Amino acid sequence: MINKLPKNKTARDQGFTLIELLVVIGILTVLLAIVLIAINPGRQFSQANNTKRRSDVNAILNAVHQYSADNQGDLSTINGGSGTLPATATDVADSGADICDALVPTYIAELPTDPTDGTEFSSCTTYSADYQISIGAGNRITVSAPAAELGETISVTR
């Protein structure tokens, strides 16, 4: 059966009206906004950065413990022979805790850097890890990520 157009309508008049198109665009815009709010890409990136920080903190701590095991628990030579790990948290690239020469490449391939820093590890002479390390009572070593996002505290003590 062939649809017949009313006599006052032509084939050219069968499209959508401007109002109908605007309503559809408005509905799609609202749906897109709801999806973007639900996904929240900024929060997703922050969570991904914090996950990398947790992994990096554990990698640094594992490397220090492997070094300690190979040296019968002696950490006095970890800073190039000039001292031990500091009692207060200091950057792992700081002169008070420069652990790079002792750990790289034997215990860890390269020292990790903070994901938001934008720099990559190049050598033990020019780097900033943006992770902190300290030693407490009973030779318990703490490595932390002070730049953690979303109000999280990322710190591991062993």
- C-alpha distances in angstroms, 145 versus 12, 29, 35, 37, 93? 66, 39, 32, 28, 13
As a whole number, mean pLDDT of residues 74-78 equals 74
70 in a structural domain: yes
Lowest mean pLDDT among 61-65, 72-76, 137-141: 72-76
3 in a structural domain: no
What pLDDT shows up at residue 88? Answer: 83
Residues 6 or more apart whose Cβ sits within 8 Å of residue 86: 96, 97, 133, 134, 135
Confidence of residue 30 (pLDDT cuts 50, 70, 90): very high
Confidence of residue 99 (pLDDT cuts 50, 70, 90): confident
75 in a structural domain: yes
98 in a structural domain: yes
Q: Residue 67's domain spans which residues?
A: 41-157
What pTM was estimated for this model as a whole?
0.76
Q: Which residue has the higher pLDDT, 2 or 111?
A: 111
Q: Is the pLDDT of residue 136 over 90?
A: no
As a whole number, mean pLDDT of residues 90-110 equals 86
32 in a structural domain: no
Domains identified in the chain, total number: 1
13 in a structural domain: no
Average model confidence (pLDDT) across the chain: 85
15 in a structural domain: no
52 in a structural domain: yes
What pLDDT shows up at residue 79? Answer: 63
